[in-house]
Every structure is written in C-alpha cells, then in structure tokens.
Structure 1
Amino acid sequence: MSVTAAIIVRNEEHFLPDCIRSLGDFVDEIVVVDTGSTDGTIDIARAAGASVTSFEWNGDFAAARNAALEKVATPWTLYIDADERVSLPGGGRIEQALDLTEHAGGYVRFRPRPGYSRYREPRLFRSDPSIRFKGQIHETIVPDLVAYARAHHLTLPMTPVCIDHFGFEGDQSHKVLRNIPLLEAEVGAHPDRAYCWNHLAEMLELDGRIDEAISACHRGLASTSEDGSIKDRMDRRQIAQTLARLLLETGEEADQVIERLLQEGHDDFATLYLAGRLALLRGDADSALRIGRQLTAIDTDALEIGMIAYDLRLFGEFAWALLGGAYHQAGRRSEAGEAYQQAWLRAPGNMAYLAKAAALGAAVGRPSDASQANPA
C-alpha cells in the first residue's frame, strides 16, 4: 500500500513549502497540478521532488482536481491544498491509519482555520477511476466515494490523520472576487448544494453586500431539502445560522429563524449562542445567563469530531461577552465587569471589552492571564 498527495496550485510560493514539508514521509509521492502560476510555485514543487504538470484553468475546481487524480499511480490518494498542513499524532505513515482490505477511504480530522474545532473531511481514498470530484467550486468526491464503498461493501472510518487549513488568514479580497461568480454559477446549476449557498452568503457579506447575503440565505433555504444526508442537513442549518446572525447584526427580526432552529432540535452550540444573543436583545437576562454559563463550561479539547466545526470564540470571548451583557442587564455590575474582563483576556485587541470592564469597576488584569482565567 502506498499514498500519493494530490495538490492543485496557483501562485502558492508562500504556502507550498510548509505544505510539502508537512507531508514528509507520510506519503510516497506528491503530484502537483499547476493552474497558471506566475511566481516560484513550480520551481518549489520540482525542487521538492514532486511530479508537476500544467492545467489550463477553466473556472472549474473539480476539473483541476480530477486532472491531478489522473496522475496518481499509487493505490491510495490524499488530497490536500497548498495552504494546508498534514500531521499524524504519534508518527508513522498515513497508510497505517487504514486497512486496505476493509476501507474505501477515510475521514481526516480537519481544522478549517486557526481557532476552530476540527470536523470530519473525506480526504483519503482509493485511487479508483470511478471516484472523481464533482462541483465547479467546493468540489466533492463524497457521492462517488460513498457509491464505491457501498458497491464494494467497504467502510469509510474516521482516521487519526489531521489536516489544518491556514488560507483564511489575511486579506481575502482576491478570493471574494473569484468565488462569488463561481458560487453563483454553482448554485444556479445545482441549487440543492446548501454548503455553496452558505458560502455565497458569507462572501457577499465580506464584500459588504449585506442585503444580497440575506437574500442568498433565503434562497438557499428555499432551494435545499430538509430530508437530505446528515451533511446536507448540517449545511442547511448553517445557512439558517448565517441568516439569523445577519438579521441580528442588522437589527432585523431574527426570532422566527432562531426559534425554528431550536424547535427542530438543532440546539448545537452555534444556535445556542444565537439564542443567547436574542434573549439579551429581548431583555431576557436569565436565559442569556444560562446560555453563557453553558457555553463557558464547555471543554473545547473534548469536543466531538462531528460534521461541522465550531468557532472556539463561542466558548470563550463571545460567551463571556454575552455573560457581561446579561449580568449588566440584570443589574449585577460587578459580575458584568468581571465577565467583560474575561472576554478581554481572550481578545486583548478588543478594547471595547476593556472599556466596559473598567467602567463597571473590574480590576483589569493582563492579557497573559487568559491561560489562568476561570473558564466556568
């Protein structure tokens, strides 16, 4: 058994060296498909011993990914991007995480950006011509991989392999300009793709087009089904959460969206936090306090690896700020000041927390105190 890492790139000289270094001895080969780099990306890949081919970019990520798969000659493939890093706790080789005779592929423990929890991502799979990517953007192998597993009576287990993504750090304006047209085309052709609707709304928000972002959420909810796979339902829920957040931030009515999420049993932590914000807005300090305490009590190291990732600020900065507002609303000034101080300790760049803590009489600590801060 051997594994090839398949990477598509374009002007990734900043990220690619660390990606290749992270692969180390985990894989046997590296295939790099370049879609039009004008920097040192190709030279870096070749110097690292990767097999490099060119692919004329046509606005279709699946096509580029599949071009990379065509170059894979090993029994297994790991697909990874240049702005990601792979690791295997305890060392060893990636193929040791899977049994060739029993599995069609496996899920890795994926962190979508620093400060988020991990979730399941199907990145490791058999190199079979029936398994190919689909989707112009947010391309996926899941339909083909699941079909292959069922046809061959194989499983798709969770593996100890970890991948961390760093591409959301820094200026995202170039991705916004690129992604909005691609996402609009994708949801036009495949309106049932909830993940793409949610990402479209987020990109429109980043571009300052808030009304259009809210509209995209409404259209996404109307175009997707409540009866899809677990992943589909999770993605659809994220559309509703994005809509609720945008409505709260623009001062519009969010009650029905949040109440529907809660009624459907979608009482995950992101929904719970939104419910806390709504409670505070409605003057229900007791409910906001209950939710804030629940969130700050979560052991983030013990979060289950599920189908979605959580922004860890939900359990730290945001939850403590929620508590600060709730205590203040309840007339408990001292506790409000302490809560805002805890929020500031976790986000020392947010001077509003510090100002509120000081105004409420808290003995302001130091940002370095966050590691010793009481999480309860």
Structure 2
Amino acid sequence: MALSLCMIVKDEAALLPRCLSSLQGLVDEMIVVDTGSTDGTIAIAQQFGAQVHAFPWQDDFALARNESLQYARGEWILVLDADEVLVPEMIPVLRQSLTHDRTLLINLVRQEVGAKQSPYSLVSRLFRNRPDLRFSRPYHETVDDSVLAIVQAEPGWQIADLAQVAILHDGYQEQAIASRDKVNRAQRILEKALIKQPHDAYLCSKLGALYLESGTPQRGLKLLQRGLASAVEPPLLYELYYHLGIAWSQLKDAVQAEVHYRLALQQPILAILTLGARINLGNLLLERGATDEARKTYESVIAIDPNLAIAHYNLGLTLKALGQFPAAIAAYRETIRLQPDYAEAHQNLGVALLKTGNIPESLVAFQQAITLHEQQHSPEADRLRQGLAGMGFRL
C-alpha cells in the first residue's frame, strides 16, 4: 500500500529535518505545501525528496491541508506538522494497519510534549486517499466530518484507533506557543468561524478551551455549555466535560469541577486520553481531604502511563498527607528519575526525608531544589533558603 505524506509549512527550517527524518522507511512520497516561507524550509524539503508546492495563506488551515491532499498519489495519506515526529517503533505497526481492506481512517495517539494539561490526544491523521475525504474547519482542522459522511453513505467502512503513542508533538510547549503567537491566531480564526456556526459543538469546545487558556473562564464556561447542548460523540463530550471542569476550577467552584471531571471519565474513550481529567480530579480530591480516593486516582493514572512524572509527584504529595513517608519518598524519587529538573519533587523529597530523620540526604535534596529553582528563575529558591535558615540549616 503506497503511503503519501502531506504537510503544510511556513518557516520551519529549524524543525523540518527532524520531522522528515522520522518518516524514513514509511512513506513512499512527500508532499509539502509551503504557505510563504522566507527561510530555508523549501530547500530542506527538496533535499529530502519532497514535492514542494506554493499556496498563499488564507487564514484557513483546512484549505491549505486540502491543497496538499490533491497532489497525493498514494492509496493512503499521512498528515504531519513540522513540530511533530513519528515514533520509530510505530513504523511496522502503521504499515501493518494499512493492509485492512475495510479501514477508512486510523486515529493516532499523539503525545503533547510539555503540555500543562492533557498529555495525549487522538488525531485523525492516517486515512485513505479519496476525493471526498477532505479537511474542514479553519482551525483545529479535521477530516472527521467527511469521514462521517462517507461512513453514513457506505456503512461497510470502519474507523480504527491505534492505542500506542505514534506521534510526538512539541507545539504545546510554552516557548513554542509564545514564539508563534498561536493563541491569538487561533482565537481570531475560531471566532470568525463561530459567527457562521454559532452552535457547532466542536468550535465551541476549541474556542471555549482557548478562552480558559487566556484567562477568561466566564466566556469559556458559556461557550462550553453551549457546545454540550449539541455534542453526541464520546471524544467531544469528554473534551467538553473536561474543559468545563477546568472552567469551574478557575471560577473556584470545586464541587462543579469535580462533577464535570467525573462526567468526562464516564465517556467510552481510550484510557490514555483521560489522564488530564484523572489528574485534575485527583488534585481536587487531595485539596478537600479525600486522600485515599486521591491516592487511588493517581495510581490509576500511573497504571495507564507509568512514565508520567506529575502522577508520581502528586501520588507522593498524597502519601505524605497520609503520613506514609517511606512510600512518599519512593514516589518523589521516581518523579525525579523521570524528570530530573522537577524542582518541587526535590523540595518535597527533602521534606519527607527530614520527617523521617534523614537530615544529610534531606539537605542534599533541598540544595538540588534551590539550584533548580534558581535556574528556573523562581522566587521559591529564596523562600526555601530562608525557611531552612530558620531551622538552623544554611544552604
């Protein structure tokens, strides 16, 4: 089965080589649509053997994506962005998945590297090359609408989800968002689209979440509630309930936040996609003193993803609250193994070690926490140093 890569790019010279290198041995052709690069993006794409086509940017991601699709000659299409890479171990899995005769679309799990909230998402990026299978929506564009229309007209087609992480995405790290002014651009495009489709649940979800990110929870709450009125698909319902939980948390209503996180977790979706709601629910439970349920909630996260540092850290906080200091110490050490620059984990490790009377090791942990806080320009370094001085320890 021939597979075509389809990409849209603009000024991606720094990221494009890593992305295209990750696809060696998988794709049979590379289609790159450039929307106005002024750096070396075009030359780099051509060095990798890609066909490069120019297309003027029109504030519509779906339009640009569809331009790339028209050049594809493979039976299947894979869509990636320059800030994404394919997980190498997934190449044989993806190749095998293309052999199923009645599969129309294969949803892929993407890890959001550096994301503050949900660490994983499900993206519709691998699908059959058909003229009626195209992207829609100007931002957070998706092929889901055309896929639904095809399945309704031709019921024999199937949609598959690959549960393993297939794509690593760097675009939600703080520096990446800031450097590309992603939030402002997204808000502008989504608000324009919402004028035309004011009750579209997908648009309400995406723009509502964006309002939460920009610090306007009341606007986000109203839009998310509007979207909930028409949403029917479990993935979208999860997203709406999850972001409503965040909205209510921002509005200091912990009861409503907990209700909506629990509703999110009732949706029948891949477990790896529910980690954001599980972590946030665990945080609420810990805050209100339901420590045993909080512990179980964090343990459920670790069972799904043993490598998620924040889950081990939050479990450590919970075990400390339960007075289980040796177990808390183990959780903090695992956090640090997974994320060595986690300053708060070093700091709380120092606290737990101090509680157990292990002063030498606690001081080592505190010193490491101070060093990391200073490197991260956090005022916590001075506060921690002063607090330790008050106990007679000078670091």
The TM tier, using the shorter chain, reads 0.7 to 0.9
Aligned to 2:161: 158
Deviation at 1:132, TM superposition (A): 0.9
Q: Find the counterpart in structure 2 of residue 43 from structure 1.
A: 43
Distance 1:271 1:184 in 2: 26
Residue of structure 1 in register with 2:24 after alignment: 24
Residue deviations 1:67-115 (CA, integer Å, cap 9, x gap): 1111112222111111111245375484432235322222223223358
1:157–1:334: structure 2 CA closer, same or farther, 3 Å change rule? closer
> What pairs up with 1:319-330 in 2 under 5 angstroms?
319-324=315-320, 326-327=321-322
Out of 125, 128, 131, the residue aligned to residue 126 of structure 1 is: 128
Aligned twin of 2:196: 189
Aligned pair in 2 of structure 1 residues 318, 37: CA closer, same or farther (>3 Å)? farther
Shift of 1:30: 0.5
1:169 is aligned, of 162, 167, 173, to 173
Which deviates more from structure 2 when the two are superposed, residues 226-235 or residues 32-41? 226-235
Query: Corresponding residue for 1:307?
Result: none
Instruction: State the SS of the aligned residue for 1:104.
Output: strand
Q: 1:154 to 1:334 in 2, by over 3 A?
A: closer
TM-score (norm 2): 0.75
Cα distance in structure 1, aligned partners of 2:129 and 2:173: 32
- Which residue pairs with 1:317 in the alignment? 313
The corresponding residue for 1:103 is: 103
Partners of 1:161 and 1:359 lie apart in 2 by 35
Whose helix proportion is higher, 1 or 2?
2
Q: Are the aligned partners of 2:90 and 2:166 in contact in 1 as well (CA < 8 Å)?
A: no
Which residue in 1 is equivalent to 2:187?
180
- Distance in 1 (CA, whole Å) between partners of 2:255 and 2:111 is 31
**Per-residue CA distance 1:210-236 (angstroms, 9 max, x = gap):** 2x2342133222333365111221221
Q: Go from structure 1 to structure 2 and tell me whether the alpha carbon gap of 1:271 and 1:205 turns closer, same or farther (over 3 Å shift).
A: closer
Contact 1:224 1:236 in 2 (8 A): yes
After TM superposition, the structure 1 stretch with the greater mean CA deviation from structure 2, 10-19 or 190-199, is: 190-199
TM-score after normalising by structure 1: 0.78
Structure 2: which 5+ residue stretches go unaligned? 268-273, 367-395
Deviations 1:290-343 (A, max 9, x none): 32244136445668xxxxxxx93452223323444x33xxxx385697488458
Cα 1:281–1:92, aligned 2, differ >3 Å: closer, same or farther? Answer: closer
C-alpha distance in 1 between matches for 2:199 and 2:309: 30
Pair 1:143-2:145 in alignment: yes
TM superposition outliers: structure 1 runs of 4+ over 6 Å:
none
Rounded Cα–Cα distance in structure 2 between residues aligned with 1:343 and 1:240: 31
Q: Which has the higher contact order (CA 8 A, sep 6+)?
A: 1
Deviation at 1:118, TM superposition (A): 4.6
* Deviation digits for residues 128-168 of structure 1 (CA, Å, limit 9, x no counterpart): 11111110100110121132234331212234782221222
Structure 1 residues 87, 262: CA separation in 2 closer, same or farther (over 3 Å shift)?
closer
Does the 8 Å CA contact 1:13/1:39 hold for their aligned counterparts? yes
Letter in 2 for 1:312: L
Matching of residue 274 in structure 1 with residue 280 in structure 2: yes
- The residue number in structure 1 matching 2:225 is 221
SS class of match (2:89): coil
**Which residue identity does 1:121 align to in structure 2?**
V
The whole-number CA distance in structure 1 between the counterparts of 2:142 and 2:187 is 18
SS across alignment from 2:103: coil
For the residues of structure 2 that align with 1:220 and 1:200, how far apart are their CA atoms? Answer: 8
- Tell me whether 345-354 or 165-174 shows the greater mean CA deviation: 345-354
Paired residues of 1:194 and 1:235 also in contact (CA < 8 A): no
Partner of 1:65: 65
* CA spacing shift, 1:290–1:216, aligned 2, 3 Å: closer
Cα 1:229–1:317 shift into 2, 3 Å: same
| Offset, 1:348 | 4.9
Amino acid at match of 2:28: D
Q: Distance in 2 between matches of 1:99 and 1:105?
A: 12
Displacement, 1:7? 0.1
Change (3 A) 1:2 1:169: same
Deviation for aligned residue 1:191: 3.9
CA–CA separation in structure 1 for the residues paired with 2:96 and 2:265? 38
Opposite residue 236 of structure 2, the aligned amino acid is D
Change (3 A) 1:339 1:323: farther
Partner secondary structure for residue 89 of structure 1: helix
Structure 1 residues not aligned, in runs of 5+: 304-310, 368-376
Q: Identity rate of aligned residues, in percent?
A: 24
- SS, match of residue 23 in structure 1: coil
Structure 1 residues 256 and 343: alpha-carbon distance in aligned structure 2, compared to 1, 3 A threshold: farther
